[in-house]
């Protein structure tokens, strides 16, 4: 199954595979197993960043891109994959200055073993650099054929609107996709002005933390200790509202004979502006829980919305 991605002309799988675990909680061999399983199941859309996974002891950043690049070279499938990566948050390549964007893109291309990037994101806004400088630098990469499309991650609606205005005034490449944090638990970063802008401009939303760092898989329950590298992210979700969401989500999952994770992704896909949620997996078994397409009824969506 493929869905059109806004104005890009790309068609992608409804689940974008997150590469943030590659080189972190999944080593190179485990990562290749997941990538093999994703491609075998029809997946073609992979999201990574130059900073993944700099936070792990001994890593310097770029580990995820390198694993993905090595895998594509081994499989000979670069032309079949849609690869998204990002610039701005790697400590050795910070910000969105023209010089940094140019250098970071070359680094990412080298690690990916590719001469182009399908979607290149500003990983976060950089208010210290004029938008004109950032957008012109991205445009030059597009003109050179090194980047096909541009995306904005962690941008507010006003800043995205301003970026669109500048691109149009200058007649240069525009941001065509957005990537905010968005899931059943954290809704305020996308819903409201950014969602309205996304829908109005036909700029698809590709939400990250689609499963709230694993909370929406259902493995976290009251009184249950979970051994996970992401367990420290859970306290903000372990509230009365969070547990109520899990209970309601479990009912929806059972009605579809699906996993809670697949139901949570189904809720995201039903939201205005959302195209392909991003979710990661450390093993093929975890991937199997999130790959199925679950179409929620309007009543199920409304029930989850109400909590």
Report long-range pairs for 294-300 (Cβ below 8 Å, ≥24 apart): 294/253, 294/256, 294/258, 294/262, 294/263, 294/265, 294/266, 295/266, 295/269, 295/270, 296/252, 296/256, 296/263, 296/266, 296/267, 296/270, 300/252, 300/255, 300/267
- What's the confidence (pLDDT) of residue 274? 98
- What's the confidence (pLDDT) of residue 231? 52
Q: Are 18 and 208 in contact (CB under 8 A)?
A: yes
pLDDT digits (tens, 9 = 90+) for 49-65: 999 999 999 999 999 99
- What's the confidence (pLDDT) of residue 238? 83
Q: Which CATH number fits domain 3-305: 3.40.50.720, 3.20.20.100, 3.40.50.300, 3.40.50.450?
A: 3.20.20.100
Q: Provide mean pLDDT across the span 147-170.
A: 98
Is it the case that residue 232 has pLDDT exceeding 70?
A: no
**Position with higher pLDDT, 226 vs 307:** 307
- What's the confidence (pLDDT) of residue 234? 59
Report the DSSP pairing between strands 3-4 and 11-12.
Answer: antiparallel
Q: Express as a percent the part of the chain with pLDDT over 90.
A: 91
Mean pLDDT, rounded, of the chain: 95
pLDDT digits (tens, 9 = 90+) for 263-277: 999 999 999 999 999
- What's the confidence (pLDDT) of residue 222? 66
- What's the confidence (pLDDT) of residue 37? 98
Q: Provide mean pLDDT across the span 163-172.
A: 98
Q: Provide mean pLDDT across the span 111-118.
A: 98
Q: Provide mean pLDDT across the span 224-239.
A: 64
For the chain, report the end-to-end CA distance as a whole number of angstroms.
31
pTM listed for this prediction: 0.95
Domain regions of the chain by residue span:
3-305
Is it the case that residue 226 has pLDDT exceeding 60?
A: no
Q: Provide mean pLDDT across the span 147-167.
A: 98
- Residues serving a catalytic function are 52
């Amino acid at each position: 199954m493929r869905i059109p991605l806004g104005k890009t002309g790309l068609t992608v799988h409804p689940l974008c595979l997150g590469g943030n675990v590659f080189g972190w909680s999944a080593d190179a061999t485990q990562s290749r197993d997941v990538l093999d399983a994703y491609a075998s199941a029809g997946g073609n859309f992979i999201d990574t960043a130059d900073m993944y996974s700099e936070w792990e002891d001994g890593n310097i950043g770029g580990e995820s891109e390198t694993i993905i690049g090595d895998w594509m070279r081994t499989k000979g499938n670069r032309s079949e994959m849609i690869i998204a990566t990002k610039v701005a948050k790697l400590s050795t390549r910070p910000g969105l200055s023209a010089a940094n964007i140019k250098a970071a893109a070359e680094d990412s291309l080298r690690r990916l073993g590719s001469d182009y990037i399908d979607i290149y994101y500003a990983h976060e806004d950089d208010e210290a650099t004029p938008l004109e400088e950032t957008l012109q630098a991205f445009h030059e990469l597009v003109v050179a054929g090194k980047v096909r499309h541009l995306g904005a991650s962690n941008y507010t609606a006003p800043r995205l609107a301003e970026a669109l205005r500048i691109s149009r005034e200058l007649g240069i490449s525009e941001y065509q996709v957005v990537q905010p944090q968005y899931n059943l638990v954290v809704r305020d970063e996308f819903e409201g002005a950014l969602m309205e802008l996304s829908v109005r401009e036909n700029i698809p939303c590709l939400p990250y933390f689609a499963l709230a760092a694993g909370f929406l898989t259902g493995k976290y329950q009251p009184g249950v200790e979970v051994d996970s590298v992401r367990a420290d992210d859970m306290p903000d979700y372990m509230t009365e509202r969070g547990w109520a969401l899990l209970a309601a989500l479990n009912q929806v999952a059972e009605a579809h004979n699906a996993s809670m994770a697949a139901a949570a992704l189904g809720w995201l896909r039903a939201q205005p502006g959302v195209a392909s949620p991003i979710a990661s997996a450390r093993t093929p078994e975890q991937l199997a829980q999130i790959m199925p397409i679950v179409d929620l009824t309007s009543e199920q969506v409304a029930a989850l919305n109400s909590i």
